């Protein structure tokens, strides 16, 4: 059958470099997948840092902008962190992503490496389930000046550093005062991020089809301070009232140091990530497998 995706970019664990076991494993996996794609009639390229750090030179090396302009599919080989990093960058180019899991959990890199050939073959021909994930836009405002600006697919986290003591945060939603919260921090998570840090902090799971966010306090001083589900159309503002060594994290991959009086403003981004899954995939299959529900039940 005719290929739907002919120009395919491969992205690996490009943050790992050198000659260690992790890099060797990533290189071998990427080479296997690239050779398979070529055998199917695809033109293959490697993301620039992936090619540099793995030493693979048999295929063109492209930066993110070139991938967005020239490729019609990105294959991410690694874990969820790798997918988050490249997913944010490629969202503005509307390039669909397929995740092949070489990490630990694999909530969004959901194709096992040992079965990638049987899963990819029909997907390359256009047989797949498409899954859209909205991104968050976050800005750190110091007075009237934006001192940091980032996208997040999972979450925006405001928390204290390693020093003892809580932070105090003033929280507003669409300009309406919600509360002054004393806690170790606060998480604003998307449905994608509801299975990450927010889940560990006691937040609910949000199905990806829900156009909402969850606001989850981290170890709050007041036990009645509970997670709240909000519409993704709102603007959330978090003002630093008191605390030391505070920071804002965006998908735990970029960080901004905070000062008293800073405001972290979170809004819906105009961009979204496009994930492709094998036919028959459901979100509940992922939850059941990754969270080990019903283990031992016949």
Separation between Cα atoms, residue 241 and residue 81, nearest integer Å = 31
pTM here? 0.92
**Cα–Cα distance measured from residue 162 to residue 144, given in angstroms and rounded to the nearest whole number:** 29
Cβ proximity of 138 and 264 under 8 Å: yes
Query: What pLDDT, on the 0 to 100 scale, is given for residue 64?
Result: 96
CATH says 135-270 is which class? Answer: mainly beta
Domain boundaries of the chain, sorted by first residue? 7-128+278-290, 135-270
Which pLDDT tens digit goes with each residue over 28-86? Answer: 999 999 999 999 999 999 999 999 999 999 999 999 999 999 999 999 999 999 999 99
Angle of CA points 269, 276, 202, to nearest 5°: 60
pLDDT number for residue 251: 95
The Cα–Cα gap between 279 and 129 comes to: 6
CATH topology of domain 7-128+278-290: Rossmann fold (3.40.50)
Count CB atoms within 10 A of the CB of residue 71: 24
DSSP-assigned states of every residue in 208-274: TTS-EEEEEEES-SSTT---EEEETTS-EEEEEEE-SS-EEEETTTEEEE--TT-EEEEEEEEEEEE
Mean pLDDT, the chain, as a whole number? 92
Beta-strand pair 155-159/247-250: antiparallel
Cα torsion for 109, 114, 116, 121, to the nearest 10°?
-150
Phi, psi of 143 (to 5 degrees): 70, -125
Helix, strand, or coil here: 98?
Answer: strand
Nearest one of 104, 134, 98 to 234, comparing CA atoms: 134
All residues at 6 or more sequence positions from 106 whose CB lies less than 8 Å from its CB, including other chains: 79, 80, 99, 290
Give the separation between CA 157 and CA 138, rounded to whole angstroms: 10
Report for 7-21, 91-105, 126-140, 160-174: range of highest mean pLDDT: 126-140
Region 184-209 average pLDDT: 96
149 is a catalytic site residue:
no
pLDDT band at 229 (very low <50, low <70, confident <90, very high): very high
Distance CA 257, CA 88 (A): 21
pLDDT at 20: 62
Considering 80, 131, 155, 262, which one is annotated as catalytic?
80
- CA dist., res. 54 & res. 78, Å (int): 13
Which pLDDT score is estimated for 292? 87
Residue 186 has pLDDT above 80, yes or no: yes
Specify the pLDDT at position 106.
81
- Above pLDDT 70, what percent of the chain? 94
DSSP class of residue 275?
A: E
Q: How confident is the model at residue 15 (pLDDT cuts 50, 70, 90)?
A: low
């Amino acid at each position: 059958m005719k290929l739907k995706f002919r120009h395919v970019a491969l992205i690996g664990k490009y943050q790992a470099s050198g000659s260690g076991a992790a890099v060797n494993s990533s290189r071998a996996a990427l080479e296997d997948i690239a050779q398979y794609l070529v055998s199917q009639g695809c033109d293959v390229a490697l993301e620039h840092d992936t090619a540099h750090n793995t030493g693979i030179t048999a295929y063109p090396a492209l930066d993110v902008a070139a991938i967005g302009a020239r490729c019609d599919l990105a294959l991410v080989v690694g874990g969820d962190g790798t997918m988050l990093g490249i997913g944010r960058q490629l969202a503005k180019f509307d390039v669909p992503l397929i995740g092949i899991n070489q990490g630990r959990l694999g909530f969004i890199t959901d194709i096992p490496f040992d079965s990638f050939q049987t899963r990819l073959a029909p997907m390359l021909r256009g047989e797949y389930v498409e899954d859209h994930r909205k991104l968050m836009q976050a800005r750190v405002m110091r007075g009237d000046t934006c001192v940091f600006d980032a996208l997040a697919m999972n979450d925006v986290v405001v928390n204290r550093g390693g020093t003892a003591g809580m932070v105090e945060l003033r929280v507003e939603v669409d300009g309406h005062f919600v509360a002054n919260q004393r806690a170790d921090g606060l998480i604003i998570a998307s449905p994608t991020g509801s299975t990450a840090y927010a889940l560990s902090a006691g937040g609910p799971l949000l199905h990806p089809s829900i156009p909402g966010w969850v606001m989850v306090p981290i170890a709050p001083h007041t036990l009645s301070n509970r997670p709240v589900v909000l519409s993704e159309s709102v603007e959330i503002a978090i003002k630093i009232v008191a605390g030391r060594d505070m920071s804002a994290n965006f998908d735990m991959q970029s960080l901004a140091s905070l000062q008293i009086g800073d405001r972290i403003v979170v809004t819906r981004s105009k961009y979204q990530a496009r994930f492709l899954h094998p036919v028959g995939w459901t979100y509940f299959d992922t939850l059941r497998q990754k969270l080990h529900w019903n283990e031992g039940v016949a």
